[in-house]
Amino acid sequence: MKHLQSSAALETIYARILRLGISQFTLCSTQHKAGNSFLSLAVAKRAAESGKRVLLIELNRTTPKLAELHGLSPLEWLPLTGNWEHAAQESAHAGLLLLCCPVKSSHCVEFRDQETLKLFFESCASHFDMVICDVEPILFSKQQMSRDQFEPEHQRLPVDVICAASEATVLNVLTGRTTESEIDEARDILVQSGASLQGVIMNDCHAPSLKQELIRETYRLQKPFPRWMAKLRKKIDSTVLLNQEL
């Protein structure tokens, strides 16, 4: 995720969003530690770099990261009655504003009511060119969370309701980590909630690159041809084509 900014992969994601004509969407993952927060931030920065006025909303009470990443203090706000406009904070990137997840007021019913959230997102879209919402994983797993991160499930923000209130939803899937059954379960939840699933991002942050795979294969012949394999690894490592991000 550290190398996502200015990468070919990010350009592909951003171009696809533009082609779909989406101005407000929720990015959700199937599981924790999927890089959802970093991915949503990268897309928001990319849109801001194009001259768009962007609002990145964090509705993740379990593992909030937006305030920490930008050295901000999360302000209290509510979708409609809490003056959310005054809680949106400027970032270091021109055109990008951040609406961090509130600590106390997120317990309010406004964050759980689909119609209220829909009106909220529509209000945001009327002020910004692009509105991105970062949420908790749609599949809750206690095994993937440390004890200090655990919150009772009834206190978590309803991801399916947030997605249903959004103009569109994009699912972030970890290549090699997310199972087919998890993808099916996440899709069924979104479909049943009435969310508009517009796309899936295959996140390769934990998947080996072609260069890494080729280098790994050279070790199969390391014992009979140690010098040749060392030279081959050096050649693979310096090949321009294999060092391009796909």
> Per-residue confidence of the chain (246 residues) as pLDDT tens digits?
445 555 778 898 899 999 999 999 999 998 887 788 889 999 999 999 999 999 999 999 888 889 998 999 989 999 987 689 999 999 999 999 999 999 899 889 999 999 999 999 999 999 999 999 999 999 864 444 444 444 555 568 999 999 999 999 999 988 777 888 999 999 999 999 999 999 888 876 655 566 666 777 778 888 888 888 888 888 877 764 444 443
Write down the pLDDT at residue 146: 44
User: Cβ(168)–Cβ(137) under 8 Å?
Assistant: no
Residues 6 or more apart in contact with residue 167 via CB below 8 angstroms? 22, 23, 24, 25, 121, 125, 196
DSSP state of 223: T
Cα separation of 47 and 42, whole Å?
9
Q: What's the confidence (pLDDT) of residue 211? A: 66
Looking at residue 208, what is its pLDDT? 55
Report d(CA 100, CA 103) in Å as an integer. Answer: 9
SS3 170: strand
Domain boundaries, the chain: 8-203, 210-242
Cβ neighbours for 133, distance < 8 A, ≥ 6 positions apart: 24, 25, 26, 27, 40, 57, 58, 59, 121, 162, 166
**Is there a contact between 89 and 75 (Cβ–Cβ < 8 Å)?**
yes
| pLDDT value, residue 213 | 62
Reported pTM: 0.79
| Helices 36-49 & 8-20 angle (0-180, nearest 10) | 70
Laid out side by side, the sheet with 24-29 consists of: 89-90, 96-99, 54-59, 130-135, 24-29, 168-174, 197-203
Site of tokens 């529509």: 122
Please give the structure tokens belonging to residue 136: 């908790």
Alpha-carbon distance of 175 to 217, in angstroms, equals 21
Q: Which CATH number fits domain 8-203: 3.30.1330.40, 3.40.718.10, 3.40.50.300, 1.10.3720.10?
A: 3.40.50.300
